Amino acid sequence: MRIDQVALLPTYVAAATAVLALLADLVVPGRRGAVAGVTALGMLGTIATAITVGQGLDDGGRRTAFCLGPDQCSLVFDPATAIVAGVFAALALGALALSVPLLRTGEVPAGEYCFLLACSMTGAVVLGGARDLITLVVALETLTLPLYLLVGLRRGNRAGGAAAVTFFVVSVVSTAVALLGAALVFTATGGVHFADIAGAQVAPAAEPLLKVGVILLLTGLAFKVAAVPAHAWAPATYDGAPLPVAAYLSTASKLGGVVALLLVGVSAARPVLGTSGLTLAVLAVLSMTVGNLVALRQRRMVRLLAWSSVAQAGYLLAPLGALLAAGGRTGPAVELLVAATVAYAFFYVVLEFSAFGALVAVRGAGDGGEVADYRGLARRSPWLTAVLVISLTGLAGLPPGLAGLFAKVAVVRSLLGGDAVWLAVVVALNAVIGLAYYVRAAATFFGAPPEGPALEGAALEGAALEGATPEGAATDGASPELVKPRVSWPVAVAVAVAAVVAVLVGFAPELIMRAAGTFS
Amino acid sequence: MHPVLPFTIAALLFGIGVYGVVVRRNAVLLLMAVELMLNAVNLIFVTADATIRAAVPHAGQSFTLFVIVLAAAEVGVGLALILQLYRLRRSVVVDELELDEEVSA
Amino acid sequence: MTTGQTLLLATLLLPAIGALAAAGLPARLDRAGRVTGTVFAAATFGVTLLFRPPDAAPATDARIAPWTELDLPWAPALSLRFHLGIDGISYPLVVLTALLTMLCCAYCLWRVPEPGRGRLLVALLLVLQVGIQGVFLSLDLVLFFVFFEVVLLPMYAVIAVWGGPDRRRAARKFVLYTLFGSVLLLVGVFVVVSASGTGDLVALGDPAVRPMTAGMQLLAFVLLAVAFAVKSPLWPLHTWLPAAHTEAPTVGSVILAGVLLKMGTYGLLRVAVGVAPDGAARSAPVLAILATAAIIAGGLICLAQTELKRLIAYSSVGHMGFVLLGIATLTATGLQAALIGNIAHGIVTGLLFFIAGGIKDRLHTGELDRLGGLRETAPALSGVLAYAAIASLGLPGLAGFWGEAFAVVAAFERGGPLWITLGVLAAVGAALAAAYFLRLLRRVTHGPATSAVAGLGAHARLGPGELVAWSPLVVLTLALGILPPLVLSYSADPVAALAEVFGR
Amino acid sequence: MTTADVLIGALGAVALGSGLLVVTTRHVVRAGLWLVVALGAIAGLYLVLTAELVAWVQVLLYVGAVVVLLLFAVMLTRAPIGASDDLDRVRWPGLLVGAGSGAGLAALLIDAFRWTRTDLPEPGTAERLGAALFRTWVLPFELISVLLLAALVGAIVVSRPDIGARRRG
Amino acid sequence: MTVDPLGAALPAIPLALGLAGLLLRGDRRVPAAVLGVGGATAALGVAIAAAARGPHGPDSGHVIAEFGRLAVTFGTWLDGPAGLVAVAVAVVALCVQVYSVAYLHDDDRYAPYAAQVSLFTGAMLLVVASGDLIVMLVGWEVMGICSYLLIGHDRRLPEAPRAAVKAFLVTRVGDVGFLLGIVLLGVRAGSFRIADVFAADLSAGTVTAACLLLLAGVAGKSAQFPLHTWLPDAMAGPTPISALIHAATMVAAGVYVVARLFPLFERSAPALVVLALMASVTMLLGALSALGQDDIKRVLAWSTVSQLGYMTGALAVGAPAAALFHLLTHAAFKALLFLAAGAVIHAVGTNLMASMGGLRERMPATFWTMTAALAALAGVPVFAGFWSKDAIVEAAWHATTGDGHGPLPRGVAAVVLVSACLTVAVTAAYVVRLWRRTFGGEPRSAEARAAHEPPWAMRGPLLVLAVPTVLLGFAGLAVGFSDRLVGGGWGDAEGAMPLRAATPVAHLTWLALVPLALLVAGGWLAWRRDPAAPLPDTATTRLFANAFYLDAVQDALVTRPVAALARAGRRADERLVDGAVDGVGSGARGAGGLLARVHAAALPRATTAVLGGAVVIAAVVAIVVGVA
């Protein structure tokens, strides 16, 4: 069997990045900047190769590797794969940039940190092209396993340690469930390649095995997107982890989960789309409702974002839930739904990342802190506030940032295209609950700092641009960790890029919609 | 050979593992229970391999091998994390890992 | 690009640029910022006045025949086109929006509510203008929805920052409740789009386009109608309104009552009725009954109100009831009545809220018990108040009359016991309006001056900002009362085209 | 009933019994030992099912490495050698979920296969399986090496506090 | 598309000047007076021109608004009655404007007052001249609001605002009916032009319904039972305003509109029956209430109610000519009465007759003019009132005997006749009482002793109005005048009133003796009593003084229930409707708290959730998609 090495290039580069990071750490010990720089270069290289290889594809064409038959491939490199790989690498790069303040503190060993991040990226890069269960599982684990360590890497940090164990335990348990599902699917169809599973003539006796297998597989994978019921780890882990890692978890790791769910729930489960549709619908409804309701009551910033991301997972899965409706299983409808899911994922990733990025810019190496700590932020750093507001309102699905709005539009549109009106209504109503806490958080930025009750109500950018009291009083009145932070340039760049992209795709949603169209 | 036997065994074993995961308080014991679950899965793979006509020869057994290696890696990392936790709080009782804080009424 | 298209773009771009300019200026140039904003608002108003209907009505069997349109692709994958257009139904509303925004900005030149930073307030007003005019101008369902959403957060900010003591709660209620409305709009829009394959209002109005099944139409209409009912607001979905109005700053109330609510009625007329006529025909009685209930309920509640702005807010509920009743009749008469009622309410209630703001600014209270004898100390103020109140209670010869009277006429035109009864009840509601407005006048202007009023002194006279902002509205109120063609002449043809669908 | 069936039944009984003890015993250390028994029995099952290589890997990797690791962990976490009563929390949820999953799964598989009989295929010897691995499963194999490297490095860096501390400053 | 210039100018001039006047500051007396008096003069000029030109058919009008098929046209129809009534209105308005200059000499809100009077006049003239129902409604309502503003003008009287609100609301309640009636006619006839409505063939049901609805409005404006309660309270307004309202504008409008639309009423017996009963009750009720008052202006107010009863009675018995005739004479002598009473009050400084008396020597001009007016009111021969009232009684007699116009059943006509005759007696009684209590005997207060004639600005109008008060009656003897009153002067223009006055409206027959006898009787009864003595406090007098307690009834049946309903509505809106909304909010919050508490637990709960969730979802989905 011939192996198209070109298809593997991005994977090689990614893996090489990991190794380079380790070597660099050995060669120039103590030079954090160097290590990070090398890793960053590697990641950039990954992006570049992904794009170039993607460009190299003649339209509609694809490169394959490790094939037994025409469709029995472990790896397929098509435009979608290229896009996913590029996005993953970009997110890893962004996370790295956000990590700079953390690395500066020396709380974490730079070399290992970069290495683990690169490993995770490698897994993610492969994930996009995986076309059989084994590769899928291994890739997912390669994506996830380094994250346990990244979460708990900070020395002597109790929260970090606890968070790491929580993450790990829930992860292995749900992995076990997913593997059980895989085993049942294999038992029923005798195939591990998606093509085989999708094309297998399943004996009526084995039909239930296949269905239950798919259900368990999806439920197990739901852990990756932190969907109810496999969601409880997210708040604890996000809050315990360093902010950059939390950012990576809530973007890259989630995106990985989405890709996996798409591959399994749609590509592989063709014969039993109804089953996977219903499963995903249940997961979606539970996730968005529970996530939004609990988020209403959060006091800590990161936990708020964590719960909101649980809800977002619900919106992510909602379009696939429409597969349960007969109207959603027709060819074009399925493409519509898949495209909507991917589009929402991209919109979400951009907004979520810029939100976390802004947090890092505000808090430096510290943790997210209480929501109340952000009062008066607008007065101190208007630009960061603007980014946060755009991201949060975007996640809520409202202007000024049109990205979030179009994300919701895409989801609802696909749902109605798939005859799942009720699901669309559930999504819509959840959006209302969601706005309640996003807007509350956004409003606190404009509130006066806790020590300045005299400024109660003095709000909005104005507060930032001039301040109702002399500037001195304002900063004195501020809670200490909010004294205007000196944002290190990588963070600044990362946030700026993310914000720009968020605004850009708001005005040109077609970019994302076209990218999403390449899937399935 | 009647495949139903090993299959049933695997099913029950999985159930036992699940029980263990739910009731055990000690992180290490919890991990052991997880191993039981994974072994149940492996058993299913192997039995299936021996029972049905797979599209790719020995796919089930290969899968099993990968799962075993994965499990090993996971255990390694997991134990490291558990030990770190122990260093930090002198306890490996998972009941002490709070998921979420009590909210203000 | 034709002149018309340039005008369309300018109508949306000018305020947007103005907003950026005003907000961009540093704090020490606050006044300059306000001036800039006002200039842009005035420019926009000027632009809107340049729209002219074509000399010859274009020969088309589509229900919507825009005077001029601009149709650019935006996001086909979301079935979203940047399709703007203006016709006789939207034109008066666009002008009204531009006018009120301009007046509010001008008002802010002299009076900036606490906590200051007027230029940002002006900027937000301009953003609101973009959203509202966008709603009136868009001929694409998805675009319509986008603009509909644009309005939410700026208004939230206006209330939550420059509002009264309980502003946060009011603002939250406003934004959540109206968002509830607009998410239903989102669903409704895509029910239509996925059912009929296009989001283009002109195409949807074209008999040639594959019409939706009756069931789909009903579903679509109900979703859309609820969405717009929240915005209008239609009893019993109105309770966000009083809170928002009571807490909002003067200019906020003016925009809110003057044009924001109109998005609901306009949407109902242009979108809900326009794209799902059968659904509309089937649910018209329900709509009419609710509208009449709103008229009566609004009147009764106003009779028992003790706070100035709250009372005016509830009177809006009643007036919008008349507008919705007019729409619900689905007759040319009713639709015309609804349109002119819309405009009249915008002008008169805008004026009322200006005055209420003026009173609250002076006396720092809106409680009727603490007011009284205003005509002794502030004859001009109380005079304008009386004028506005009288106009609002639908006195013939002033703007308010036509919409209300001819809503009743339309109901009688429909005939049948139900519609006749509704017409009678609506007329009774008009009498209630007289009752509560006279009660208001008696409490506020007549009688002996209360301590607060007596201590008014030099504040009693009208400030320059008030003179500038109020006089156009005063004039328009009378003009529209004497010359209804100011609105009706534009809307006659499109309304006739729309009513044709219902054979009326 | 073939000999295979008998063997399977016997080994299965052992596996289940010891597995049950793993999750119920009140001695932490014994739990580890019973786990060895269970895994060994399962290795036996693999052999009966003609998965030779898998069986050996099971013995080597699991019994040889994993369990040892686990036992080390037990020691390092100062687990009491004797019996301790606070190992479990309330049992009913575990019983419910465990029984539910086990029974449900069993029912599913039994219903799928009934009392069908199949002949054992040719054994999955090392060369056969190796061939499959290195022809078909090269990509996951490469990838898992990255995974193992990550696990190795990570485990070391996490469990050795001095790493990185050296770099501080 | 032509509009009769005279018809347009008639209301337009005073309205325009009135609006202009509103812009003046309150204390700019001179320009305000110029605008006010000028407006009235101009109106009078136009009115005279129109009357001189003779009846003029309806013009096609100018369309001012199109609602679907229905169009609103500004058109005029200056037929005979319109011209005459317009003149009367203008005369009274002019007198009032002039009189007010002096009467409000120290009022710093004179300017708006004068402007509002102009608007009031213009509105009335609009009603008179309009050839379109909607436009007529405009004038009708504007009049209402002007009455509200003017009655509430006086700041010294605490009851003024209340009276003003009452006046507007009571009439507005009636106007609901009026509006609905117009709408019904317009919708069924497809046009609001009066001529078109006449021409359209409307079903009897429609006509009856419309007429009854219109009657509601008429009852409100023309203070007919049961909507008459606002009129006496309206005395709180300045006296000239009372003159304006009672003589020429407000109250006249109702009667005039019925006369204008008589071709419709004629077709509907039920409507006329209702009108007749309304009239009978009103005239007697008003007279008896007048008998019980001590406030001079209230006596006059109740007398107006009663006289309006005569007019509507005349309409009911199918004699619009008589009604309009009485409308004109009444305009003259009632205006005079009020202005004279104003002079008296101006001099004595009180409304109460108890502290008057003996003014005969002190203010002779006022005495003589008022005497003439009172005589006219009572219907003493040769005075104007005698002729018009006689015409009405006669018409009622004809209707009773069955040779009258109109479809009114004879029985009902008899009721009108009887009540009219009785009212004559009662009227004589209270007129004599008022006359003697005010001018006769000795002064009963220091002010009365110091009273003197008013300034010329006030005395002039008295003398001017005295002329028609005495002479206008004889006009009724002229056939041409009578023809104009019934509107038929000019051949068969479209929608011309079918009536013809072959004979003059007023002519003496033996019938006149009956009222005369009653007149004398009533007068003699009142004469016997000592003018100085107040009324004995008996149940009857209390009943009269409180106007049969109808205010209390109205309060109990309408005002309080509505207020209670309003409070209930507000409570319901806040507790139920808004409560539900807030409930949803707090409910979501509560649910969030609940769920959050569920998650406030240790790690095992997460694993349990994963495993349990997997089992449950698998089971549920499997069952739903049907695995087995």
Q: Residues E23-73: pLDDT tens digits?
A: 887 778 888 888 889 999 999 999 999 888 877 878 888 888 888 888 888
Please state the ipTM of this predicted complex: 0.88
Q: How far apart are CA A478 and CA A463, in angstroms?
A: 13
Percent of chain A past pLDDT 70, that is, above it, reads: 92
User: For B42-63, how does the pLDDT look when each residue is reduced to its tens digit (9 = 90+)?
Assistant: 999 999 988 888 888 888 999 9
Q: How confident is the model at residue C181 (pLDDT cuts 50, 70, 90)?
A: very high
Residue A270 CB neighbours (<10 A): 16
Alpha helices in C61-213 (DSSP H): 90-110, 118-137, 141-150, 152-162, 167-196, 201-204
Evaluate whether C401 touches E145 at the Cβ level (below 8 Å). no
Compute the mean pLDDT over every residue in chain D, rounded to the nearest whole number. Answer: 86
pLDDT of residue A210: 92
pLDDT for position A450: 60
C-beta atoms of D97 and E604 within 8 A: no
Q: Chain B partners of E611 at a C-beta cutoff of 8 Å?
A: 18, 21-22
Highest mean pLDDT among C108-117, C198-207, C248-257, E442-451: C248-257
Give the E-side interface with A, CB within 8 Å.
Answer: 588-589, 591-593, 595-596, 599, 603, 605-607, 609-614, 617-618, 620-622, 624-625, 627-628
pLDDT band, residue A164 (cuts 50/70/90): very high
Cβ count within 10 A of residue D3: 9
Residue A495 has pLDDT above 50, yes or no: yes
CB atoms within 10 A of CB A265: 26
- DSSP assignment of E245-303: HHHTSHHHHHHHHHHHTHHHHTT-HHHHHHHHHHHHHHHHHHHHHHHT--BHHHHHHHH
Of A416, A432, A513, the CB nearest to C77: A513
Report how far residue C119's alpha carbon sits from residue C105's, in angstroms, rounded to the nearest whole number: 9
Task: Say how far apart CA C438 and CA C444 lie, in whole Å.
Answer: 10
Please, is E560 exposed, middle or buried when counting C-beta atoms within 10 Å of its C-beta (0-12, 13-18, 19+)? exposed
Residue C445: pLDDT over 90 = no
The whole-number pLDDT of residue D165 equals 47
Mean of per-residue pLDDT scores for chain E: 85
Q: What is the rounded CA–CA span in Å between residue A406 and residue C146? A: 9
Q: Do chains D and C touch (3 or more CB pairs under 8 A)?
A: no
A431 to chain E, any CB pair closer than 8 A? The answer is no
Report the DSSP beta bridge partners of residue C83: C71
Q: Given the structure tokens 């485990």, which residue do they identify? A: D155
Task: Decide if A468 and C115 are in contact by the 8 Å CB cutoff.
Answer: yes
In this predicted structure, what is the pLDDT of residue E487?
Answer: 61
In the predicted model, is pLDDT for residue E536 greater than 90?
no
Residue E295 pLDDT greater than 80, yes or no: yes
* Percentage of residues of chain E with pLDDT beyond 90: 16
pLDDT at C447: 76
Query: In chain C, whose CA is at the least distance from the CA of E155?
Result: C447
Our CA-based measurement puts residue A59 at a distance from the nearest CA of chain B, in whole angstroms, of 31
CB-CB neighbors (< 8 A) of E603 in chain A: 165-166, 169-170, 236
- Looking at chain B, which residue has its C-alpha nearest residue A166? B97
| Residue D167, CA distances (Å) to A103, E49, E393 in order | 11, 112, 122
Position of tokens 């009856």? E208
Q: Which of E330, E260, E205 is nearest to E58 (CA)?
A: E260
In the stretch 146-185 of chain C, residues with CB closer than 8 A to chain E read 173, 176-177
Is the separation of the CB atoms in E429 and E520 below 8 Å?
Answer: no
Residue A284, C-beta contacts closer than 8 angstroms, at least 6 positions apart: A227, A313, A314, A315, A316, A317, A318, A320, A321, A423
For an interface test with A, which of D146, D157, D159 has the most A Cβ atoms less than 10 Å from its Cβ?
D146
Q: Report, as an integer, the average pLDDT of C158-181.
A: 90
- What does the pLDDT read at residue A2? 67
Please give the pLDDT value at position E492.
Answer: 39
- Model confidence at C67: pLDDT above 90: no
Residues facing A73 on adjacent strands: A67
- Chain A residues whose CB is inside 8 A of the C149 CB are 398-399, 405
Residue scoring higher pLDDT (A123 or C487): A123
Contacts of A283 (CB under 8 A, 6+ apart): A218, A219, A222, A227, A228, A314, A317, A321, E617
| Chain A residues close to B45, C-beta within 8 Å | 183, 186
Name the residue with higher pLDDT: D161 or E192. Answer: E192
- Report which residue type is found at E154: D
CA dihedral D117, D119, D125, D130 (to 10 degrees): -70
> pLDDT digit string (tens) for E220-246?
988 888 888 888 888 888 888 888 888
pLDDT at E404: 67
Closest chain A C-alpha to D99 CA, distance in angstroms? 15
pLDDT of residue C57: 65
Q: With an 8 Å Cβ cutoff, is B79 touching chain D?
A: yes
CA distances from residue E276 to A452, E289, E300, E304 in whole angstroms, order as listed: 78, 20, 23, 17
CA atoms in the 13 A half-sphere facing the CB of A477: 23
Question: CA A334, A340, A345, A348: dihedral to nearest 10 degrees?
Answer: -160
Give the distance, in angstroms, between the CA of residue C210 and the centroid of all CA atoms in the same chain. Answer: 33
Give me the amino acid identity at C2: T
Is it the case that residue A349 has pLDDT exceeding 80? yes
Query: Which other chains touch chain E, taking contact as 3+ CB pairs less than 8 Å apart?
Result: A, B, C, D
Cα separation of the two ends of chain C: 38
C224 touching chain A per CB within 8 A: no
Using CA atoms, how far apart are residues A167 and A234, in angstroms rounded to an integer? 8
Q: Is residue E11 over pLDDT 60?
A: yes
pLDDT value at residue D112: 87
pLDDT digits (tens, 9 = 90+) for A17-63: 999 999 998 888 778 888 999 999 999 999 999 999 988 887 667 88
Q: Choose the closest CB to E611 out of D89, D97, D111.
A: D97
How many whole angstroms separate alpha carbon A317 and alpha carbon A338? Answer: 10
- Residue D163 confidence (pLDDT) above 70: no
Decide: A17 and A117 in contact? Cβ < 8 Å.
no
Residue of B19, B39, B70 with shortest CB distance to D23: B19
Question: Is some CB atom of chain D closer than 8 A to the CB atom of A65?
Answer: yes
Nearest-by-Cβ selection for E608 from D93, D104, D111: D93
Would the CB atoms of D146 and A122 count as touching at under 8 Å? Answer: yes
Flag whether residue C63 sits within 8 Å of chain E, measured between CB atoms.
no
Instruction: Give A284-311 as a 3 state SS string.
Output: HHHHHHHHHHHHCCCCEHHHHHHHHHHH
Q: Which of C163-167, C347-351, E305-309 has the lowest mean pLDDT?
A: C163-167
Helix%, strand%, coil% for chain B, nearest 5: 75, 5, 20
E184 and C412: CB-CB below 8 Å?
A: yes
Upper half-sphere CA count for residue E577 (Cβ side, 13 Å) = 20
Q: Which of the other chains make 3 or more beta carbon contacts under 8 angstroms with chain A?
A: B, C, D, E
Verify whether the Cβ–Cβ distance D143 to A110 is below 8 Å: no
- C303 vs E contacts (CB less than 8 Å): 562-563, 566, 569
B contact residues 7-66, partner A, Cβ 8 Å cutoff: 14, 17, 21, 27, 30-31, 34, 37-38, 40-41, 44-45, 47-48, 51-56, 59-60, 62-63, 66
Q: Judge whether E590 is closer than 8 Å to chain D, CB to CB.
A: no
Task: Flag if A172 and B44 touch (Cβ within 8 Å).
Answer: no
Please count the other Cβ atoms lying within 10 Å of the Cβ belonging to residue E283.
Answer: 30
**Which of E613, E620, E622 has the CB atom closest to A211's CB atom?**
E622
Q: What residues contact E179, with CB distance under 8 A and at least 6 apart?
A: C405, C408, C427, C430, E137, E217
| CA–CA dist C179, C171 (Å, integer) | 12
Q: Which residue of C has its CA nearest to A469?
A: C115
- E130 SS3 class: strand
Highest average pLDDT, of A255-269, A327-341, E440-454, comes from A255-269
CA distances from A453 to A373, A446, C275, C359 (A): 14, 13, 52, 29
Mean pLDDT of chain A: 87
Closest listed residue to residue E473, CA positions, set E380, E399, E404: E380
Query: Does C485 contact E64 at a Cβ distance shorter than 8 Å?
Result: yes
Examine the pLDDT at D166 and tell me if it is beyond 70: no
Q: In angstroms, what CA-CA distances link A215 with A22, A279, E94?
A: 40, 6, 94
Contact flag B89-A138 (C-beta cutoff 8 Å)? no
Give the residue from chain E lying closest to C311, CA to CA. Answer: E570
**Which pLDDT value is given to residue D164?**
52
* Contact call for E148 and C409, based on CB within 8 A: no
* Closest-CA distance of chain C to residue E347, Å: 27
Residue E502 DSSP one-character state:
S
Q: Which amino acid is at D69?
A: L
Least confident range of A336-340, A462-466, D154-158, E606-610: A462-466
- Physical contact, C and B (3 or more Cβ pairs within 8 A): no
Check CB contact under 8 Å for B35 and D62. yes
Tell me what the mean pLDDT of segment C188-194 comes to: 90
User: What percent of chain D is predicted at pLDDT more than 90?
Assistant: 41
User: Per-residue confidence at C59, pLDDT binned at 50, 70, 90?
Assistant: low
- On the question of pLDDT at E379 being above 70, the answer is yes
* Chain D contact for E604 (CB, 8 A cutoff): yes
β-bridge pairing C80-86 and C68-75 = antiparallel
Q: Can you tell me the distance from the alpha carbon of B25 to that of B36, in angstroms, rounded to the nearest whole number?
A: 16
Work out the burial of residue C503: count CB atoms within 10 Å of its CB; fewer than 13 is exposed, 13-18 middle, 19 or more buried. exposed
Chain B hits for A169, Cβ within 8 Å: 27, 30, 78, 94
Q: Which 3-state string (H, E, C) describes C261-314?
A: HHHHHHHHHHHHHHHCHHHHHHHHHHHHHHHHHHHHHHHHHHHCCCEHHHHHHH
Q: Are A288 and A386 in contact (CB under 8 A)?
A: no
CA distance linking residue B40 with residue B13, whole number of Å: 6
